[in-house]
Chain A
Amino acid sequence: MIPELGHFALIIALGLALVQAVIPLWGSFNGRRPWMEMARPLAAGQLTFLVLAFACLLQAFLTDDFSVLYVAEQSNTLLPPIYKVSALWGGHEGSLLLWVLMLGIWGAAVAAFSRNLPLPMISRVISVQGMVAIGFLLFTLLTSNPFERIFPVPQEGRDLNPLLQDPGLAIHPPMLYMGYVGFSVAFAFAIAALLGGKLDAAWARWSRPWTTVAWIFLTIGISLGSWWAYYELGWGGWWFWDPVENASFMPWLAGTALIHSLAVTEKRGAFKSWTVLLAISAFSLSLLGTFLVRSGVLTSVHAFATDPSRGTFILAFLVIVIGGSLSLYAWRAPSVSGGGRFDLVSRESFLLVNNLLLAALALLVLFGTLAPLIYEAAGWGKISVGFPWFNTMFVAISPFLVLAMGLGPSTRWKHDEPARLARLLWIPFALSLGVLALCSTGLIFPGNLSVGLGLGLSTWLVLTQLVALRERLKNKGGLKALVGDLRNRSRSFYGMWLAHIGVAVFIVGATLVSSYGSETDLRMSPGAVHEVAGYRFQFNGAQPHDGPNYRAQRGEFVIYKGERQITVLHPEKRSYLSGGMPMTEAGIDPGFLRDLYVSLGEPVGDKGDWAVRIYYKPYVRWIWLAGILMALGGLLAVSDGRYRTARKSVQVPAGGGLARA
């Protein structure tokens, strides 16, 4: 009964979406206020029914209702309850429901937090969101219904893929989807602006917080994915340039360009058509990612069960949405763009360079991901474009971006003197060159060119940000101003600052762990000790140890540095009761400056020996720390006071308190 209720709720949501897509939009063109005013209640209604549908599916999972096909595929009676919840989005159908739910949440949020926006604009925005919802709901109902039943009812479900039975991976899709779907708001704002023919600073100011919040979620989602891959997959890596990883990275790159472009449009009225194009692109890349992951066009460990017929549907949807919005852009953008003059040396220039480089990087990733397909289509043979190509390209191009990131914050808007910039920044430049030179050679420590480049670039970034901070505080009265600024909510500068520092932290972490990390495979007997990077690893054998839905062999490693015992690690080799290959759970000692990572391979011989793998990973946590810093920076920026202007109307107390002054 309940699954049918959920199914019915989806159908109602589709009906509401149909109305939502048409009526408020039409009302905005013919000025019918009652039609436009339907937008907000419709969005709220849609959310209600989507929540209902989600709740019905959740109930099916929590009660082990295996008569629902999707539950039988993803769940199992022995699955711990928390993973029964996350199993809901473990497969294609459920993850679509999550997507659509997020769409409802964002739509309702826009409806709720937009009281100070003009009604025609908000009704267009909500209508566009309704259009996107129609596509996804149709797709779900027609090809990927999570509420489908199965007869005869299986006694036991097939179980959630053991890889997904993990807290990091449980939260990763919701974060990612909040990001992907959040860009639909920026997209809707852009379309609304194109439709209305007006694009001004006020529009940019309204769009900015929404876009930034979506960007924050996407940043967190990607960082989580990388972190999970590192500790779960057992090969010590944190980014493989797998097509599905790229599918999440492209919208992030476009989204980063977008938040910078919005800043310029808000402050200076420039980059208008750029901003609109980026808003369309960021969401389009999210949709493209959805396609790539579910259509079977590319090989990836990460892809859902692939089905070309589903792929056709999504692709048709893409052509309608993206083709339609880009046509609208081609038609209307010329009339909304223009404005905001600036000189060659100005902050706008550097931000334009930033825009172009980020867009270039996004296109680069797209090109590399699709290149095998292009080659095959052209008949040039079957090639594989993997991490070596991506790494080379990225390392070759991103230094220019980092260079611009250092110059931009210290440059004045509209016009600046090269001499002034040189005066401000020559010390950071010289010091960075020095670091690059020193670390590329073996003078201070065994370095190489990649280390030199990485550390040189991060030095540049940190020092230039410090210079920008100093200049700002100097003009405002010193360190006191910092506290004052933060309290008064003049925070967007500090948000930028923190996020840029985050990038520097990332560069340091990625560079150092690539150059100085080590990996050792060996066979160890119980009691054996092996030394890696100054740490002694003592293996004490493995004992059987069972979990709620698996049997495991649990190894014990005691780690010493010098005479001191640092920690005891317990890597496991698990066999899940629902079948399948054994899974490895690594034992990790996390640290700010290094990770020590041990995993069990196979038992060897019959005396309790095991083949084990020991990793030493210096500074690897800095990579995800960077993600956190960037997200915090975004949070600071969003909490800036300017987004709270003029919401309350002036209350004049009885008796006219003001008149007394």
Chain B
Amino acid sequence: MTPTPFFRVLAAAALLAWGCARAFTLEEFQFQSPAQEHEFRELIGKLRCLVCQNESLAASQADLAQDLREEVYHMMQDGKSQDEIIEFLVARYGDFVLYQPPVKPSTYILWFGPFVLIGIGGFFLLRALQRKGREPEADLSATDRDRIEQLLTQPGTRPGDTQDRTS
């Protein structure tokens, strides 16, 4: 068992070192306006770097990420819209390249499911609360009644007791 985990870890570290470690490179793309720069930055923030373990194109330093950033930049300069650029990348890499899952029939459950479930849960909750309010008060058992009798007729309270605080 000795060499294998070491080697595996080493390989993993090498991969990390080659691709996607944290230090980033800023490429100075020239933009026609601050709005365009903002749009570019937003777009690459939404796209996943495919070779990395969960980093966006904005954050990753991998070679492939650099290539894709340049591609996105050139498409923006050519006047393509955000949607067109996204479509271009999805056609080549699949939906996985997007951090935001697209809203299409197969993802309806992802986007609408939580609301539907919470709505249903809320409905049941309301019903349960109303039912709970109409529940009769639990009766005291005979043994409990005796014990209460006992406690109430005991002389005084013991020193050292603290009051039970209800806030």
Within 8 Å CB of B94, what residues of A?
A: 381-382
Check A493/B54 contact, CB under 8 A, given A73-B9, A148-B2, A343-B133.
no
**In the bound complex, do residue B95 and residue A383 qualify as a contact, i.e. CB atoms below 8 Å apart?**
yes
Check A158/B10 contact, CB under 8 A, given A242-B54, A581-B17.
yes
Nearest B-chain residue to A604, judged by Cβ: B28
Closest chain-A Cβ to B29's Cβ sits at a distance in Å of: 9
**In the bound complex, do residue A360 and residue B121 qualify as a contact, i.e. CB atoms below 8 Å apart?**
yes
**In the bound complex, do residue B125 and residue A613 qualify as a contact, i.e. CB atoms below 8 Å apart?**
no
A389 interfacial contact with B, CB 8 Å: yes
A307 interfacial contact with B, CB 8 Å: yes
**In the bound complex, do residue B130 and residue A307 qualify as a contact, i.e. CB atoms below 8 Å apart?**
no
Closest chain-B Cβ to A108's Cβ sits at a distance in Å of: 27
Total count of chain A residues near the partner, CB < 8 A: 87
**In the bound complex, do residue B162 and residue A645 qualify as a contact, i.e. CB atoms below 8 Å apart?**
yes
* Cα of A629 to Cα of B80 in the assembled complex, Å: 47
Q: Mark A366-403, 1 if CB is under 8 A from B, else 0.
A: 01100100010000111111111100010011000000
Nearest A-chain residue to B55, judged by Cβ: A301
Give A429-477 interface residues, CB cut-off 8 Å to B.
472
Nearest B-chain residue to A355, judged by Cβ: B125
**In the bound complex, do residue A344 and residue B95 qualify as a contact, i.e. CB atoms below 8 Å apart?**
no
Within 8 Å CB of A650, what residues of B?
A: 158-160
Partner of A303, one of B23, B28, B53: B53
A167 interfacial contact with B, CB 8 Å: no
**In the bound complex, do residue A386 and residue B165 qualify as a contact, i.e. CB atoms below 8 Å apart?**
no
Check A301/B58 contact, CB under 8 A, given A381-B94, A383-B96, A388-B46.
no
Within 8 Å CB of B13, what residues of A?
A: 158, 161, 580
Within 8 Å CB of B160, what residues of A?
A: 646, 648, 650
A528 interfacial contact with B, CB 8 Å: no
**In the bound complex, do residue B162 and residue A584 qualify as a contact, i.e. CB atoms below 8 Å apart?**
no
Q: Mark A274-310, 1 if CB is under 8 A from B, else 0.
A: 0000000000000000000000000111010111000
Partner of A342, one of B5, B110, B111, B133: B133
Nearest B-chain residue to A495, judged by Cβ: B167
**In the bound complex, do residue A581 and residue B23 qualify as a contact, i.e. CB atoms below 8 Å apart?**
yes
* Cα of A28 to Cα of B124 in the assembled complex, Å: 39
* Cα of A267 to Cα of B164 in the assembled complex, Å: 10
**In the bound complex, do residue B110 and residue A150 qualify as a contact, i.e. CB atoms below 8 Å apart?**
no
**In the bound complex, do residue B52 and residue A583 qualify as a contact, i.e. CB atoms below 8 Å apart?**
no
Partner of B96, one of A148, A306, A371, A382: A382
**In the bound complex, do residue A602 and residue B26 qualify as a contact, i.e. CB atoms below 8 Å apart?**
yes
Check A584/B22 contact, CB under 8 A, given A69-B2, A300-B53, A388-B100.
yes
Partner of B21, one of A380, A472, A493, A581: A581
**In the bound complex, do residue B28 and residue A523 qualify as a contact, i.e. CB atoms below 8 Å apart?**
yes
**In the bound complex, do residue A519 and residue B24 qualify as a contact, i.e. CB atoms below 8 Å apart?**
no
* Cα of A360 to Cα of B111 in the assembled complex, Å: 15
* Cα of A232 to Cα of B115 in the assembled complex, Å: 36
**In the bound complex, do residue A396 and residue B54 qualify as a contact, i.e. CB atoms below 8 Å apart?**
no
Closest chain-B Cβ to A372's Cβ sits at a distance in Å of: 8
Closest chain-B Cβ to A585's Cβ sits at a distance in Å of: 10
**In the bound complex, do residue B100 and residue A582 qualify as a contact, i.e. CB atoms below 8 Å apart?**
no
B132 interfacial contact with A, CB 8 Å: yes
Nearest B-chain residue to A235, judged by Cβ: B59
**In the bound complex, do residue A243 and residue B9 qualify as a contact, i.e. CB atoms below 8 Å apart?**
no
A319 interfacial contact with B, CB 8 Å: no
Closest chain-A Cβ to B156's Cβ sits at a distance in Å of: 11
B135 interfacial contact with A, CB 8 Å: yes
* Cα of A582 to Cα of B25 in the assembled complex, Å: 10
Partner of B54, one of A243, A307, A604, A613: A243
Give A233-264 interface residues, CB cut-off 8 Å to B.
233-235, 240, 242-243
A492 interfacial contact with B, CB 8 Å: yes
**In the bound complex, do residue B106 and residue A344 qualify as a contact, i.e. CB atoms below 8 Å apart?**
no
Within 8 Å CB of A382, what residues of B?
A: 94-96
B8 interfacial contact with A, CB 8 Å: yes
Number of residue pairs spanning A and B whose beta carbons lie under 8 angstroms apart: 184
Partner of A611, one of B1, B25, B48, B61: B25
Closest chain-A Cβ to B154's Cβ sits at a distance in Å of: 15
Give B110-155 interface residues, CB cut-off 8 Å to A.
110-111, 113-115, 117-118, 121-122, 125, 129-130, 132-133, 135-138
**In the bound complex, do residue B24 and residue A235 qualify as a contact, i.e. CB atoms below 8 Å apart?**
yes
**In the bound complex, do residue B114 and residue A393 qualify as a contact, i.e. CB atoms below 8 Å apart?**
yes
**In the bound complex, do residue B53 and residue A388 qualify as a contact, i.e. CB atoms below 8 Å apart?**
no
**In the bound complex, do residue A580 and residue B17 qualify as a contact, i.e. CB atoms below 8 Å apart?**
yes
B74 interfacial contact with A, CB 8 Å: no
Give A395-437 interface residues, CB cut-off 8 Å to B.
396-397, 413
Nearest A-chain residue to B4, judged by Cβ: A307
Within 8 Å CB of B114, what residues of A?
A: 360, 364, 367, 393, 397
B97 interfacial contact with A, CB 8 Å: yes
**In the bound complex, do residue A385 and residue B10 qualify as a contact, i.e. CB atoms below 8 Å apart?**
no
* Cα of A603 to Cα of B122 in the assembled complex, Å: 57
Closest chain-A Cβ to B65's Cβ sits at a distance in Å of: 13
Partner of B121, one of A343, A356, A388: A356
Check A360/B118 contact, CB under 8 A, given A341-B138, A382-B95.
yes
Within 8 Å CB of B115, what residues of A?
A: 396
Closest chain-B Cβ to A658's Cβ sits at a distance in Å of: 7
**In the bound complex, do residue A581 and residue B61 qualify as a contact, i.e. CB atoms below 8 Å apart?**
yes
B99 interfacial contact with A, CB 8 Å: yes
B107 interfacial contact with A, CB 8 Å: yes
Closest chain-A Cβ to B79's Cβ sits at a distance in Å of: 22
Q: Mark B89-106, 1 if CB is under 8 A from A, else 0.
A: 000001111111110001
* Cα of A242 to Cα of B56 in the assembled complex, Å: 11
Closest chain-B Cβ to A597's Cβ sits at a distance in Å of: 14
Q: Mark A553-585, 1 if CB is under 8 A from B, else 0.
A: 000000000000000000001000001111110
Within 8 Å CB of A522, what residues of B?
A: 28
A352 interfacial contact with B, CB 8 Å: yes
Within 8 Å CB of B27, what residues of A?
A: 611
* Cα of A545 to Cα of B24 in the assembled complex, Å: 20
Within 8 Å CB of A546, what residues of B?
A: none
Closest chain-B Cβ to A637's Cβ sits at a distance in Å of: 10
Within 8 Å CB of A496, what residues of B?
A: 167
Closest chain-B Cβ to A324's Cβ sits at a distance in Å of: 27
**In the bound complex, do residue A380 and residue B106 qualify as a contact, i.e. CB atoms below 8 Å apart?**
yes
A339 interfacial contact with B, CB 8 Å: yes
Q: Mark A346-363, 1 if CB is under 8 A from B, else 0.
A: 000100110010001000
Closest chain-B Cβ to A3's Cβ sits at a distance in Å of: 14
Within 8 Å CB of A388, what residues of B?
A: 46, 99-100
* Cα of A216 to Cα of B20 in the assembled complex, Å: 34
- Can you list 15 A-B pairs, Cβ within 8 angstroms, ordered by A? A234-B59, A300-B54, A301-B53, A301-B55, A341-B132, A352-B129, A356-B125, A375-B106, A383-B102, A384-B98, A385-B99, A583-B22, A642-B165, A645-B161, A646-B160
With A148-B1, A233-B22, A389-B101 known, 17 other A-B pairs at CB within 8 A are A149-B2, A235-B59, A305-B8, A344-B132, A375-B106, A383-B102, A383-B107, A384-B99, A385-B101, A388-B99, A472-B167, A521-B26, A581-B17, A581-B21, A583-B21, A611-B26, A611-B27
Which 8 pairs across A and B sit closest by C-beta, in order of nearness?
A: A386-B99, A601-B26, A388-B100, A581-B21, A611-B26, A493-B167, A343-B133, A305-B9
